[in-house]
Structure 1
Amino acid sequence: AEASECMVREELFAVFRHLDADRDGKISWVELKTALNSVGEDAGDDELREIVKQLDLDGDGCIDLEEFIQVINTEERGAEEAEKELAAAFRMFEGKEGRGGITPVGLHRMMCRLGLVDVDNCLTLDHCTFIISQVDQDGDGVVNFEEFKRVMMAAVH
């Protein structure tokens, strides 16, 4: 693990060096703007100043290498945690069939457990089949983890 961590740190350092145009060891909001513009992104000056302010842990108005690495590592940990939570939710819906996907039967069963199926507003197995068909990109009749993740991430963004 240490070798891969060292490699990741080197890659982050290379990205940092690229962003640090004047090579002073810090990324200013102007350097961030230049980098974003070079890849076709246009962000306002106030927005970029605010981003740098949020990432600037020592209050010097710029992002140094350690702040940059800490922010990236925090983002990755957040993404890893979100992935674990999605995987746990997916397994709940996947249920006993365990075919690597959520079937209409599995979706219906979980909706019943969650109390989302009632007599007045019945979510039938046919409804669940339709829902699965809308999310199922590869047409195999089940929602795999990648399809589930795509829908869930779209729902929160």
Structure 2
Amino acid sequence: MRETIKCCMSCILPCGALDVIRIVHANGKVEEISHAVRAGEIMQAYPKHVLRKPPAVIVPPTAELRKGKIYFLMPVSSAGREGAAGVGKEEEEEEDMQSHGSATDIASLLLSDRYLSDILSEKASSQRDRRRGRVGVWRPHLESISEVTNDF
């Protein structure tokens, strides 16, 4: 039964989507790991970084990373004090906002996280959404414009 479900899912998802652990770096690089690994091993390989799940949950170092899931590798400075102390309280979050940057910095970080998760989820569900007519993530289509000099 399980193989049948996996076979049907392979028609919808990209090849190997359920067989690997995906780690998205801050620079956009996507690392795919096929073997079982703990979050602490990844954090040791990348000091001063934490792993996050898409809804902004920081993964503890003892957690086993699951195949088919997407994790984001973020610098500790971007993740704030939540990475070191676990789940923070509302008062600590307000202090963190005041001491570590303006609201626009935090908003831009949240938008970039959302953009990355949108792109990755778009890739996984593109075939299914084409049938429904859903539009994907907007990306600009840029063309070069040549300047014409007037020789009058």
Q: State the TM-score, normalizing by the size of structure 1.
A: 0.24
Structure number with higher helix proportion = 1
Write 1 or 2 for the structure with the bigger share of strand: 2
Higher relative CO (Cα under 8 Å, sequence separation at least 6) belongs to 2
TM normalised by structure 2 equals 0.25
